[in-house]
């Protein structure tokens, strides 16, 4: 396959269509038809596109394989990374390995909208809302009908620092529709609880009505009960957290964010957790281990220089901080799941 055109000469869609035409020309009719169903958003990533073109254009197949493997490591969720590896393996005559790589490409082509939704959730958790909105806009062009993308859209609405009452209402309405379709989804219930907690202190735009509403304790109690109902459903449906499951990890981190919004005493815990969300499992757990391992090393060093009383106080503070950080949320989730 040759890609001799200068960069920028063709639009992304024409480049995509030309790639499918190259497959057709080489006799891969089934593969060309499947390729046309690949997500255009995945092809629009300029770095992925550049490394893809490089890997299929290099004549030295060993060098081409190195570039393709680098692309897989850089973008492990992008189907075109595995497609590049497939093409290189075909050049090398390794048809079995090429077929395996193409199957991986097909898998990630089908799960790509889920991956994009996960990315939006992670950006919202990190507070990178401008970046989250940009990824959402790009994703909505192709996957606006996917429920997980709509859930990610609701997360962007809920996370906005300067929300109008209409945006909160829009998020709640969207999430309530999703909850009816997916009643056991913990992220949907977590975001609903978060939106309801925020709505309790927000207005409708009508000052006179708002004054009456805020003064109405029954309305506040109803809102709190609604939030607690969704918190219980969230807790009951949270998956088991392990060292590799990214879906479970994101669900738990959204739950962390929601609990910090609804229970102010968990705010400090969320501020620390937020700094660790940049890493996915298993790197996240390595980072947690390094953090508390560093605390333990510092305490060991402090023992050499501090009076016993002061050292004992530091150990007590560090122990309480560890228990608060690692056990407060799981215990609260357990209590909520039990309906207490």
Task: Print pLDDT tens along the chain (340 aa).
Answer: 433 333 443 345 566 677 777 777 767 677 777 777 778 777 777 888 888 888 888 888 899 899 999 999 988 888 889 889 988 988 888 888 988 988 888 888 888 888 899 999 999 999 999 999 999 998 998 889 899 999 999 999 998 766 666 778 888 999 999 999 999 999 999 999 999 988 876 544 444 555 555 556 777 788 889 999 999 999 999 999 888 888 899 999 999 999 999 999 999 999 999 999 989 898 999 999 999 999 999 999 999 999 999 999 999 999 999 999 999 999 999 999 997 5
The domain tally of the chain equals 2
Q: Are 71 and 84 in contact (CB under 8 A)?
A: yes
The single residue listed with the structure tokens 């893809």 is 52
Does residue 45 lie within any of the structural domains?
yes
Residue identified by tokens 């890997």 is 55
Q: Check whether residue 20 and residue 138 sit in a common domain.
A: no
Same structural domain, 82 and 132: no
90, 197: one domain: no
pLDDT per residue over 136-170, tens digit each? 998 998 889 899 999 999 999 998 766 666 778 88
Record the pTM.
Answer: 0.79
The tokens describing 225, both together, are 């009960």
Q: Which of 112, 144, 175 is the last residue of a domain?
A: 112
Domain boundary among 64, 88, 112: 112
pLDDT per residue over 6-29, tens digit each? 344 334 556 667 777 777 776 767
Find all residues with CB under 8 Å of 185, minimum gap 6, and list them: 151, 178, 179, 237
Q: Which two tokens stand for residue 151?
A: 């859930």
Indicate whether 239 belongs to any domain. yes
Question: How far is it, in rounded angstroms, from Cα 297 to Cα 30?
Answer: 59
Closest CA to 210 of 170, 258, 165, 169: 165
Asked whether 203 and 307 are in contact (CB, 8 A), the reply is no
Helices (H), the chain: 12-25, 29-35, 40-43, 46-57, 61-74, 79-91, 95-126, 129-143, 147-159, 165-181, 186-199, 207-215, 217-237, 246-262, 267-276, 283-305, 308-337
d(CA 239, CA 230): 16
Q: Does 132 map to a domain?
A: yes
């Amino acid at each position: 396959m040759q890609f001799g055109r200068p960069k920028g000469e063709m639009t992304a869609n024409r480049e995509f269509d030309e790639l499918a035409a190259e497959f057709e020309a080489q006799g891969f009719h089934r593969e060309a038809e499947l390729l046309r169903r690949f997500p255009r958003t995945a092809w629009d990533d300029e770095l992925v596109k550049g490394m893809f073109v490089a890997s299929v254009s290099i004549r030295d197949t060993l060098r081409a394989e190195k570039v393709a493997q680098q692309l897989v490591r850089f973008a492990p969720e992008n189907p075109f990374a595995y497609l590049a590896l497939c093409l290189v393996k075909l050049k090398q005559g390794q048809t079995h390995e090429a077929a395996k790589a193409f199957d991986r490409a097909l898998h990630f082509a089908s799960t790509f909208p889920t991956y994009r939704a996960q990315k939006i959730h992670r950006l919202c958790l990190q507070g990178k809302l401008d970046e989250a909105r940009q990824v959402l806009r790009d994703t909505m062009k192709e996957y606006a009908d996917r429920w997980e993308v709509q859930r990610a859209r609701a997360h962007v609405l809920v996370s906005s620092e300067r929300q109008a009452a209409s945006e909160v209402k829009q998020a709640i309405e969207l999430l309530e529709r999703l909850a009816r379709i997916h009643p056991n989804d913990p992220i949907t219930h977590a975001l609903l609880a978060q939106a309801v907690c925020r709505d309790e202190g927000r207005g409708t735009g009508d000052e006179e009505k708002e004054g009456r509403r805020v003064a109405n304790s029954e309305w506040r109690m109803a809102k709190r009960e609604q939030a607690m109902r969704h918190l219980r459903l969230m807790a009951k449906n949270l998956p088991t957290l392990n060292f590799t499951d990214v879906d479970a990890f994101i669900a738990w981190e959204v739950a962390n964010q929601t609990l910090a919004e609804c229970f102010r005493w968990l705010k400090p815990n969320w501020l620390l957790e937020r700094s660790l969300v940049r890493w996915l499992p298993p790197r996240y757990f390595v980072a947690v281990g390094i953090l508390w391992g560093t605390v333990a090393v510092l305490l060991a060093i402090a023992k050499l220089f501090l009076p016993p009383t002061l050292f004992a106080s530091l150990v007590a503070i560090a122990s309480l901080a560890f228990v608060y950080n690692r056990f407060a949320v799981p215990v609260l989730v357990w209590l909520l799941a039990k309906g207490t």
